[in-house]
Chain A
């Protein structure tokens, strides 16, 4: 943890701020509600990493989606992701958001979450242990350091494609596009 190195703070304060102040929206879609509370309370204490659960997406810059994503929750996930201020990092937790997991042939769940919003990292497993959240956080620090956690830039760049996928999954998408559709690919 290079949180205490003053030189790095002076070089790029914003990047260090984004690294060590990850306020998280935990989107517990069904699974993961058992794993998340121990990780933020006294047993595993996420606050020592600077990770704090946040009640409003406007405060947050880390979006943790735990468990399977049904079509109905996808709507809420997209809205939440759109409301977060940039730079924002999204992490899929568990195997279901990665490729559908045990719901691989379900009629009502989304198989690949990163078709709809950009994901910066995955935590595989069904379910992963709470420690895996901290491994993910330290990996995310490395990615932010190397400017590789660029999901929000990809979202802006390829917004037309993401929006098309969103409209395909959710017929009658009733909010206007977040970014102008003409400039993006």
Chain B
């Protein structure tokens, strides 16, 4: 019975935590800039406003792409351990996570493509380029973790880390953790990799044509993306959590660290981002994989 409750609870917690993290990021960013900043619940106020407005639709693909992306992200939260609770623990583990992770950007790409706005197309091409940039190191990192712990189940990875110490504190996996830290801003869409939603140059990119409820859905999707990126990092590298509170606290710490980088750095051009992502994180992740294979074998 308690297992069934977590099927509902864990996407819900993901949404709430994602939205609160967005509010926190706006407040904290303001404090770093020596401003007063909006209230922490400002994203909720925005969401209420978006949902109460009517928006122009640009056809079937425009509406359904957003729903596909939101549904993909919600399903993904079921595979990620939240403390000791994992609703879908017995099915596929990391391999499924890697596949379902693609649905988020893909749905947004369908939806923005349906709008036929040039800024949206540029934003989408940048998003997919950036995804190509960080997917390579991410795949290497996940492969290293699977090789190191000899399992494809993320629940098992968390359990072993709880028993033997965090992955970030053991030697060959330390390199993977380092590579993951380097690509984490790209996964979260924060500076210096904020090339997708660049408000100043391409009018917020993929979301340029969304208004009203569409914008609300894409905001929720963004909140879920933040949650998923942080959750995967905490589960793979920081040993998950023995209960949800510890887990969310670890996520908060990682997010605040990312935010400090976000607040002070400008952003890369997209070609610089790809060059960086395929050079340093990929190299470090590859070194981690080779060492893990050599030392494990």
Contact = CB atoms under 8 A, between A and B. Distances in A.
Interface of A: 3-4, 13-14, 16-18, 20-21, 23, 41-42, 45, 47-48, 50, 53-56, 58-59, 61, 83-87
B42 A45 contact: no
Given A21-B48, A21-B49, A3 B30 contact: no
A3 B210 contact: no
Contact of A59 (B37, B52, B204): B204
B44 to A, nearest CB: 9
Contacts of B204: 54-56, 59
A42 B204 CA distance: 21
Contacts of A83: 56
| Most chain A CB neighbours (cut-off 10 Å) among B33, B51, B211 | B211
Contact of B49 (A4, A41, A61, A84): A61
16 contacts: A3-B45, A4-B39, A14-B48, A21-B48, A41-B33, A48-B36, A54-B204, A55-B203, A55-B204, A56-B203, A58-B210, A59-B207, A59-B211, A85-B53, A85-B56, A85-B212
Interface residues of B, number: 32
Contacts of A42: 33-35
Contacts of B209: 56, 58
A85 B39 CA distance: 24
> Which A-B residue pairs are the 4 nearest by beta carbons?
A17-B49, A58-B211, A14-B52, A17-B48
B46 interface: yes
B26 interface: yes
A150 to B, nearest CB: 16
B54 A85 contact: yes
Interface string B53-79: 111100000000000000000000000
| Most chain A CB neighbours (cut-off 10 Å) among B26, B45, B200 | B45
Nearest to A3: B39
Contact of B48 (A13, A47, A54): A13
Contact of B53 (A47, A54, A56, A61): A61
A21 B203 contact: no
B122 to A, nearest CB: 13
A20 B45 contact: yes
Interface string B209-225: 11110010000000000
Contacts of A53: 199
A82 B36 CA distance: 33
Nearest to A84: B211
A42 B36 CA distance: 9
B219 to A, nearest CB: 10
Contacts of A13: 48, 52
B38 interface: yes
B56 A45 contact: no
Interface string B242-284: 0000000000000000000000000000000000000000000
Contacts of B26: 47
Given A18-B52, A56-B208, A45 B45 contact: no
B38 A50 contact: yes
B66 to A, nearest CB: 14
A58 B215 contact: yes
Contacts of A3: 39, 45
Given A58-B209, A61-B49, A87-B53, A47 B30 contact: yes
A59 B199 CA distance: 12
A84 B33 CA distance: 30
Interface string B234-248: 000000000000000
A16 B209 CA distance: 24
A21 B42 contact: yes
Given A21-B46, A55-B199, A85 B35 contact: no
Interface string B118-144: 010000000000000000000000000
Contact of B56 (A16, A47, A58): A58
Interface string B1-36: 000000000000000000000000010001001111
